[in-house]
Amino acid sequence: MVLNGAHVLVTRPEHQAENLSRLIEQQGGIAVRFPALEIVSKDDAVQIKSILANLDRFQWVIFISANAVNFALKANSGKIEGAESVRFAAVGQATAQAMKLAGLPVDLVPEKGYNSEALLAMPGQQQVEGQNVLIVRGEGGREQLATTLRGRGAEVNYLEVYKRVIPLIDSSPVVELLEQHRLDVITVTSAEALQNLSLMLGEKNNKLLSLIPLVVVSDRIRRQAADMGFNRITVTDSPIDTAILETVITCVTGE
């Protein structure tokens, strides 16, 4: 088997970790499940329902992630009604897939890329002067999308449907692997998860952590990891699980 018993830390939220873990195990690796992020619903379901009931106020509704789609659905009794005046955009293919499963049209999605920059580069987001835009996201996300659209003359509102918290889990099995130098690769799919991982394992273990090959899904996370002292960082071609697996295999085998 390609991974030959290598221990791979999977830091995705628990409800999103299973597919990547299974792929690692199918290739002979040991997936060490350690969610460094928990995603939970926001408490203001009444306000969320009110905004989702009046989507005809907007020309564009932009979903930032699959979580944004799924938690909006959860807050709104499993259904989102569109309107003829509204066009729906997804930041990337995973988000677009979640929208399709929810029965929503996907009027705009980047063919390449999976972030705000890729969406902003699309022709459909260039001429937005005077338009109302709703960005559906988690609490405290990046501001670039809204800032740029406002700069292009749009009125932008947020609908925050989930929040990220640090999971309350036992870190001692991971610390033990670190101390025994038996952790071979770390996978991280968000900047916040990387920060949480450092906090959860404790300052005294951060030096050991930084010595392990780190697989990340964006250059932004790579820069943050470098600032935190990691020096063996590889960025995947895409954030999907199969691309993460391929990068893990390269880290382990050197091929």
Say if 7-37+167-253 and 40-164 have the same CATH topology: yes
Read off the amino acid at residue 155: E
Task: Supply the pLDDT for residue 85.
Answer: 84
What pLDDT sits at residue 140? 84
What pLDDT shows up at residue 87?
A: 94
Q: Where are the domains of the chain?
A: 7-37+167-253, 40-164
Q: How high is the pLDDT of residue 45?
A: 87
Query: Which fold does the domain 40-164 belong to in CATH?
Result: Rossmann fold (3.40.50)
What is the mean pLDDT, run by run of 10 residues, along the chain of 255 residues? 95 94 97 96 91 94 94 91 87 91 92 82 88 94 90 95 94 96 96 95 94 95 96 92 96 89
CATH topology of domain 7-37+167-253: Rossmann fold (3.40.50)
Residue 86 DSSP class: -
HEC per residue, 15-77: HHCHHHHHHHHHCCCEEEECCCCEEEECCCHHHHHHHHCCHHHCCEEEECCHHHHHHHHHHCC
Is the overall model pTM greater than 0.85, yes or no?
A: no
